[in-house]
Structure 1
């Protein structure tokens, strides 16, 4: 039932395949308690990433809504840009269960501390965080908080929209290693979920263009709206190339790390063009 979006006779309601994929995205990328939908199969099944990412842009928007709300509330309470941005990033981390941050730390430890492909993969599978991973986490949090605080100072409430757009665009950009690389571990989890098909990539690209248009129409600078997806994709592609060189493929950690660097790049692209 999730192999496409054409309505099937046994679908529980119109648009059920889309709703199932959205629910699966939210379950996979967050700790949100998403209930089983009417007519849905096993909600804990292995995701099919050939088609599932079609709903990823919308899932990214939904996951960022709590952070955007707390950002606006803190700003309205006059807590200042730094505290408001810190609260927003903290809530974003709680919503996702630090899923992407964990991937970034593992990639930093593996790529920085391993001298061979096998050793790098072994380090990445270790649950402990080393010096490289710790530094990467601190820098990621600092850059995201700093960028959001700057946007609050320059654009006011529009910073909440910027946060939502960055969350969605970065998850789209993080599909790059799944499309361009095979699994680094043929027997790992990444090998069982598949790779986004062409139709899925086309849908994600169209949604990204729509997000850019939304941000521009809401008042964010056009140059920033162009730079956000461009820099997010560029950052993800750089890390994808590094993964090819270091471990010969992609893993879940690499995808999570791509989301982090893509979100940072997207926010910095907007900061660079936001009027002072």
Structure 2
């Protein structure tokens, strides 16, 4: 049980700015095995985001509460996934071949594709959450609690199904370059899918279908353009599928 707790804290320390106890050992192998808990980290991020939104909505307009709660989660994660989204936009938008795409994504500077992509992503997520708030503040909280774990499950599935394409050992995501064992994948699926119970059945179905469709589509693009995934692409997949979850819920509402 202690080992499992250490793996979860390893994942929490890697993907957030939350300090972990000094007694938690770290190694690339442990981070590799911690992949099963990546969606569980989404519980923490989604919970903080939902709590921040509900607290801020008591004293501020909903639109501002949404934006500030997004800022809280970005601060909590150190913009880890947002950075991957921006780098992916730059790489896939400006690169012609695999080598050029990887070089662009490795560049710490943000380009025009990354800037536009980041602005549009943040605007889209804010607009979607404001639309969700039309059905009540608890609808926003439930969406945040479901979207963060589910989107991290989507990224974890790419680790399992796709090969890792960067060869440099300095890459932060190099320790993750291993397919999950069946038990690890089942645990990740449980942690990623369980929060869908907070949604109505049709909402959960809409979110699940939207996330699954986008995950398959991005996997095809990553394979066609690069032959696999990088850490930046995993971050981009998390951002895209988080938005897809919100859109799936809204589509379910419009359908009914």
Taking structure 1 as the reference length, the TM-score comes to 0.85
Deviation at 1:137, TM superposition (A): 0.4
Q: Deviations over 1:159-199 (max 9, x none)?
A: 11211210111001111321222111133434433232222
Hey, what's the Cα distance between the residues in 2 that align with 1:272 and 1:30? 31
The aligned residue for residue 161 of structure 1 is 142
Please tell me whether residue 192 in structure 1 is matched to residue 175 in structure 2. yes
Deviation at 1:244, TM superposition (A): 1.1
Hey, what's the Cα distance between the residues in 2 that align with 1:128 and 1:69? 33
Q: How does 1:144-223 map to 2 (within 5 A)?
A: 144-188=125-169, 189=171, 190-193=173-176, 194-213=178-197, 215=198, 220-223=199-202
Q: Deviations over 1:237-276 (max 9, x none)?
A: 2112111111121100010000000100001111222479
The aligned residue for residue 11 of structure 2 is 25
The aligned residue for residue 55 of structure 2 is 73
Preserved contact between residue 106 and residue 253 of structure 1 (Cα < 8 Å): yes
Preserved contact between residue 59 and residue 168 of structure 1 (Cα < 8 Å): yes
User: Residue 135 of structure 2: SS of its match in structure 1?
Assistant: helix
Preserved contact between residue 9 and residue 20 of structure 2 (Cα < 8 Å): yes
The aligned residue for residue 84 of structure 1 is 65
Match of 1:35 among 21, 28, 52: 21
Deviation at 1:94, TM superposition (A): 0.6
Hey, what's the Cα distance between the residues in 2 that align with 1:274 and 1:28? 36
Deviation at 1:116, TM superposition (A): 1.3
User: How much is the aligned-residue C-alpha RMSD, in angstroms?
Assistant: 1.8
Match of 2:239 among 256, 260, 270: 260
Relative CO higher for 1 or 2, CA cutoff 8 Å, sep ≥ 6?
2
Larger radius of gyration: 1
The aligned residue for residue 216 of structure 2 is 237
Hey, what's the Cα distance between the residues in 2 that align with 1:34 and 1:47? 18
Hey, what's the Cα distance between the residues in 2 that align with 1:230 and 1:27? 30
Hey, what's the Cα distance between the residues in 1 that align with 2:252 and 2:205? 10
Which has a greater percent of helix? 2
Hey, what's the Cα distance between the residues in 1 that align with 2:243 and 2:231? 19
Relative to structure 1, is the Cα distance of residues 209 and 181 closer, same or farther in structure 2, using a 3 angstrom cutoff? Answer: closer
Hey, what's the Cα distance between the residues in 2 that align with 1:47 and 1:30? 19
Moved more, 121-130 or 67-76: 67-76
The aligned residue for residue 46 of structure 2 is 64
Moved more, 187-196 or 170-179: 187-196
Taking structure 2 as the reference length, the TM-score comes to 0.91
Deviation at 1:154, TM superposition (A): 1.3
Deviation at 1:50, TM superposition (A): 4.7
Tell me the number of residue pairs that the alignment of Structure 1 and Structure 2 aligns. Answer: 252
Hey, what's the Cα distance between the residues in 2 that align with 1:157 and 1:145? 16
Q: Deviations over 1:12-64 (max 9, x none)?
A: xxx21221111011111111112234xx43x3x22545531222222211122
Moved more, 232-241 or 168-177: 232-241
Preserved contact between residue 91 and residue 101 of structure 2 (Cα < 8 Å): yes
